Amino acid sequence: MWVYEKKLQYPVRIKNPNPKMAKYIITQYGGPDGELAASLRYLSQRYHMPIPEAKAVLNDIGTEELAHFEMVGAMVYQLMKGACPEEIKMADVGTYFADHDNAVYPSTGTGVPFTAAYIQSKGDPIADLHEDLAAEQKARATYENLIKLADDPDVIDPLRFLREREIVHFQRFGEVLQKVREYMESKKYF
């Protein structure tokens, strides 16, 4: 079970609505390399990890990804809040607006709804950990693209934080990969 803290992991305080930026960022909410996919991937894969350290890392990082999901949701919400239909039309977010108004819905920027097809839970710890390493790199690359697209410091600052977390997670998954490999190797000769 989880204990909820009623605050964001890193503050999101966006003063100026920007529906176009919301459309770019929402892919990290419900897209292929987004935070929802990441948390469901790690929280599902943790069960079949062979050593407690690996279960714990997947559990912790999967939990943190939920906190990132919440941050990205807050960013999309604040960027859409207060934007009038005319601005939304100008920013070419009308197709999203027609379906969801100013609400936050897990999808890509082009409206593809979230799907578990973005993730795998293979039952092979080595294969799964390689997917997790790749997922962190893909998310890092996405955040860099989003930083390139953003010019508001209120938007860039949380994106920068989220990008750095991907690097830290990559390091942790790399360490777990080595531990799992050593464990599996040790089981061969007993």
Partner 1 sequence: MDYRHPRYCWPRAPYGYYDYPMKKGLELAEAYIPYQQYTTSLSPMEALRAGTMFPELVRPYEKKGCEGGKADESCSR
Site of interaction with partner 1 (CB under 8 A): 10, 130, 133, 143-144, 147-148, 160-165, 167-168, 170-171, 173-175, 177-178, 181
By beta-carbon proximity to partner 1, the closer residue of 89 and 148 is 148
> What is the C-alpha separation between 157 and 163, in angstroms, rounded?
10
Residue written as tokens 């693209």?
Answer: 145
Please name the residue that has the structure tokens 């293979």: 122
Cβ-count burial 11-26 (b if 16+ within 10 Å, e if not) = ebebeebbbbbbbbbb
Q: How far is the CB of 111 from partner 1 (least distance, A)?
A: 26
26: which DSSP letter?
A: T
Closer of 152 and 175 to partner 1 (Cβ):
175
Residue 101 or 151 with smaller CB distance to partner 1 = 151
Neighbours of 71 (CB within 10 A): 23
| Strand blocks (E) in 117-189 | none
Least CB distance to partner 1 at residue 64 (A): 11
CB of 137 to partner 1, least distance (A): 12
C-beta of 84 vs 167, nearer to partner 1: 167
The CB-of-61 to partner 1 minimum distance in angstroms stands at 13
